[in-house]
Amino acid sequence: MTDQPTLRDGELVLRPWRLEDSEATRHLHDDEIARWFDFPTRAPSPEEHRSWIERTGSEWAEQARATFLVEWRGRAAGSVDVRLQDQGVGVLSWVVYAPFRGRGLGWRAVRLLVEWSFDALGLQRVEAHVNPRNRASVRTALRAGLRKEGLLRGNTTLAGVTQDTLVLGRRRGDAHPDSREGFTAMLDSTLPTKRAIAQGVLRSKTGEILLCELVYKREWDLPGGVVDRDESPAACVVREVREELDLTVAAGRLLAVNWLPPLLGWADATVFVFDLGTLDAELVEQARLQQREIRAVHWTGPADWTGRVAPYNERLLTTLHGHTGDTLYLEDGTPTA
């Protein structure tokens, strides 16, 4: 095994730990470090800290972990490490000591370690497991070029309390975080997502509205479904009607946009309701229904809705009944103005 190298980014240096670093660094252990690593609140004893430093050397020799002291302008500012796993994956960890926080040293040190891990260790992926309440560490990982990938619910404990873990990762082939593509991908991973649903209003020649009797819930509903990734709401409603009812329709005028608050365990959603035109009742009666989702279809009017559709949908249908004006904006089925 070759000697552990020293990595440099201007005045920022990552170098192997040495036993003589013990006294200068063990007193920099503080409550913030103790909190997130679940360490004792007291500083480690000289023996404990020297033993840990010796272990970093052993782990390097065993190709198990690469741990570096972070130096800033010649002073010990923290520590970063990558723990090697199977199949070319490394797990990152870092600490910045209190006198050096808020200077951007953490993300610079982590990024330097990541680039070296790809180039020198041949890793294909690095990842970090961060408590989502530790906002400073989440920002460090993002600035270092990692992307939010998912949340592990209740997978660990901290001070005896069950906690979640946020997983952030970067792959060797990802665009560099300083590039437009890399920055956009990182930012996109942090932005909130909104569930989009597309539904359609199909009318009979006598003005009745088609509702679907569903297999998986009691309430009848308009035909449609959840918009797939990279699919427009208009394309979604056409696809859903074809899949569920074996009918070919065109998405016409947008009748309404309806925001739905959280309900029955579902997060909030935005529903796009399109006019799908008029069909002969006989044509619909001959439709082949998707059996795993649709039990039956019904032509309905206002007298049929109460007790058969969800309250928010009854408000939506009542608002749309006879409406011929501009596109409506609704919240929970009710116009806002």
Q: In this predicted model, what pLDDT tens digit does every residue of 167-178 receive, in sequence order?
A: 999 999 999 999
- In this structure, the strands spanning 195-203 and 147-158 are unpaired
What residues does 272 pair with on adjacent strands? 198, 257
Whether 267 contacts 193, CB under 8 Å: no
pLDDT tens figures, 6-36: 999 999 999 999 999 999 999 999 999 999 9
- Nearest Cα to Cα of residue 34 among 111, 128, 97: 97
Whether 130 contacts 166, CB under 8 Å: yes
Distance CA 216, CA 220 (A): 10
Distance CA 70, CA 179 (A): 25
Helix boundaries (H) for the chain: 22-26, 31-37, 46-61, 105-120, 135-143, 180-190, 233-245, 281-285, 311-320
Domains 7-190 and 195-335 share a fold: no
Distance CA 56, CA 96 (A): 17
CB burial class (10 A; 0-12, 13-18, 19+) of residue 3?
Answer: exposed
Q: How confident is the model at residue 263 (pLDDT cuts 50, 70, 90)?
A: confident
Whether 270 contacts 259, CB under 8 Å: yes
Maximum Cα–Cα distance across the chain: 89
Distance CA 192, CA 312 (A): 24
Long-range contacts of 303-306 (CB under 8 A, 24+ apart): 304/211
Q: How confident is the model at residue 322 (pLDDT cuts 50, 70, 90)?
A: confident
Distance CA 330, CA 128 (A): 41
The reported pLDDT for the residue numbered 1 is: 63
Task: Tell me which residue has tokens 């002073």.
Answer: 75
**Contacts with 17 (C-beta within 8 Å, 6 or more apart), sequence order:** 53, 56, 57, 67, 68, 69, 79
Arithmetic mean of pLDDT, 203-231: 93
Q: Is the pLDDT of residue 259 over 90?
A: yes
CB burial class (10 A; 0-12, 13-18, 19+) of residue 4?
Answer: middle
Entry pTM:
0.80
Assign a CATH topology to domain 7-190: Aminopeptidase (3.40.630)
The reported pLDDT for the residue numbered 111 is: 98
Q: Does domain 195-335 have CATH number 3.40.50.10490?
A: no
The reported pLDDT for the residue numbered 182 is: 94
Domain boundaries, the chain: 7-190, 195-335
Provide φ and ψ at 189, rounded to 5°: -70, -15
Whether 251 contacts 200, CB under 8 Å: yes
pLDDT tens figures, 97-116: 999 999 999 999 999 999 99
Task: Tell me which residue has tokens 């959280």.
Answer: 262
What residues does 179 pair with on adjacent strands? none
pLDDT tens figures, 264-294: 778 899 999 999 999 887 777 778 888 888 9
pLDDT tens figures, 78-93: 999 999 998 899 999 9
The two tokens of residue 149 are 């990938």
What residues does 90 pair with on adjacent strands? 84, 126
- Nearest Cα to Cα of residue 318 among 201, 187, 195: 201
For residue 313, how many other CB atoms are within 10 A of its CB? 21
